[in-house]
Structures are given as C-alpha cells and as structure tokens.
Structure 1
C-alpha cells in the first residue's frame, strides 16, 4: 500500500537530527529515540523531579524488548549515551528502576511547530512551519560549525572486544604513547569485565590508567637483614 494524502502515519519514534548526524553507534541512536518518545509521555504524565526536570522510568528488559536487542546491547548503548552526556541515570534504591533524565547538547537549536500558521520566506511561497531549518546568518553558521567541531573533539568512540569502552581520541593517544605494548590488552580486559559483570565505570580512560599504573609498580617484597648475627645454638 502506498501513502495517500490522508494516510495516517504508523507508530514511530522521534529521531533528532543531531543524533542522526552524530558519531554514535546505531544502537545508541535508536535507544535515544526510544527514550525521547518516553520523555514525551512523561511530559504529559507530569513525571518531573523537584528541579522540574522530566524523567523516564524504563527498565533494561523493556528497552531490550522495544529495541529488539539483547539486554547486554542495551546496557552498552546506555553507557555510550551516558558517556556522551546525553542521559543521566539516577538510582532509586534496591530492585527499583533508575530514573533516566534525557539531555540536549547546549548547541542544539530547538524549533517549535506552530499549528495553522505559515512562515513566508523572501522570494518563496509560504510554507507550513514544520520545525524545518530556516536560513541562518554567516555568524550563526560559524558558531554552529565551531560547536560541531568541539562536539567531534569531545565525542568518544567505541573500543574493546564488546565495543563498550568509550575513549576520546586524545585519551587513546595518551594510552598508546604511555603504554604502547599494554594498552590494547587493558582495553579488552575492561570491555570483557563490564560485559560479563554488568558493572559500569564513570570514566573508562581513568579506569584503564589506574589499572596500568598499579600493575606497572614494582611489587613490594620483604626486606631481610642478612648482616644480623645470632648466638650459637639459636635457631633462625
């Protein structure tokens, strides 16, 4: 069946352009879209914190079912979004689902969709305001390009056997130069440990550096005083 002028849209999830264009894994992009859809429901339901921030209650199992992915994949995608500063998870106690707060990068420009209004543009016919990008000035374009460059520099990439270790390019370069023969092994060790245990770390670079620094230190041994003398017949 083809779409007609009166064909309603099937159920869908909102996928922002900055997520679509961002350097994130496909699972992280899809999960952000699911969380954004849930956030819209939370707005209508009045699920807000004391600070007025909207939150989502969404279990790992529900996400895995809706995303049609494994729970391990969902956990990795959540960690990626959290490391990218796109979500914040707040624990609610034993056996209770976390509150998930969705975040927007500061440089993202929001647009509303006025209903029943038109926004005429110079030399063009009037067109409905559907949240489309309007022409921007050179100054705004320069600012946007600068923000995009900063975001790329601060974007973490996936590493490790399970693609769940997230490092900035400069962090990876530091590990390569400081521990050239060891860093890959430690990245994979962290990747396997998080995948098998379900544990997450706030800063993967700091964790790897800590492990490498600790293992590189000489092991302390017991110091013996070989000059000490004993009386005849005395046992050592």
Structure 2
C-alpha cells in the first residue's frame, strides 16, 4: 500500500499531541528517552480535560489518570518497558515530571503532571535561546550547500501559535468525542447559558462531523451557536402544535 501526498491543509483535521521541543533540545532533559517524552506529552494533553471534569485535589492541583495498561496500549510496548518509561518521568526514580499517588486496592493511581518550564526561573530564558539559535544559524548559513536554497526563511511552521496574536486564547481546551473542538473555559460557560439543552451533545456532533468530513472552522464557538440556531429553526418549522403565545388573538379568537 502506498500513502498519498498532501495537497492542501488536510493534515489539520487530525488530533495531535503537543510535544514541547524544549524537551528534545535542552540539555536538562537529555537523559529522557524519546518514548518517555512522548508519554509525558500525552499526559499533558489530559490536563485540560481533567480540569473540565473538576479533577482537582484539596490543594488546587490538577491530576489525571494514566494506567500502566494505557501506556502499554498507546506506546505499543510490554509491561516491563511501560514500567521503565513511567520510572523515567517519576519524582521518586526519575526526573520528576510526574508524581504518582496510590489510592488503595483496586483503584488506579492518581498522576500529577508537573510543569516542565517551572525550573527555568530566569525570565530571559526565551530571549537567550533565540539569540543562541540566531548566532548558530548565521554561522551555518555561510557554509550551507546550494541545495538549502531559501528553505530556511520560507519553511515556516504556520501551526506554531503567535503569542502576540493568540495570547487571549492561551487557555484553549479540546472538547468533543475526538477532542478537536477548541473552546476556552469562558466560551464553554457562555455557550452553556445560550444552549441550555445538551450542549455536550452538540459539541460531539461538531467533533464527529469535522473528523468524518475533514472540514475545519475558524471559530468553533460561533459554529456551535450557528448550528444551534439552525436546529431551532428546523424544529419550529416541523412543529405543528402552537403554544398560546404563537396565536394571534385577533385572528383565532
């Protein structure tokens, strides 16, 4: 079987794991295996859902559930490898990016996912990284082969968020059956006031529709409201039973 080429933005229709590149590039995390970094990124993806489900302890710390069986299934490995990967991340045996707390017999352990950026207290960290990268690139440009062409300046990852433009959307969470509906907590609260009946059902419909058709929408909140208003309009057209307020007293009484 041969895979097809991409000819448009079809790649945007799927779910992705947000994998921070600093975990691959910074020397502090150099002892981590690639599999453990992927596992940590999977765990980070669950934080927003946990917050939505109010999985927060008495100290306001968000926690997730991620069993050993899930590690084996998602990373396609055996139990021994799964235990090793968890240990790499664990606060007791590894780098300390996760902390596990047992709940008792028959219950899955609670997993606290730690913030990987919290160890960098220097506010200029980002600037120094960029400056260092620029210095390295300027030296590399002198010695690059003709095959490089202009790819360095033209190959820009358009999926990378512009902090200046998206600062207000930084608290976006993933909703729906396929976790591809983007809403902030404020969006969800506003929608729940507008769409009183079965908001989650409507979100699941949008999620499944985008996954099955490959369609994308610029604003998922606006799309949900539009769908809701269309549904209301269709329902009113189909309904043949009029309420008291629907009647014009002058004509019917």
Q: Name the TM-score, length of structure 1 as normaliser.
A: 0.44
Q: TM-score, normalised by structure 2?
A: 0.41
Structure showing greater radius of gyration is 1
Return the structure number with greater helix share: 2
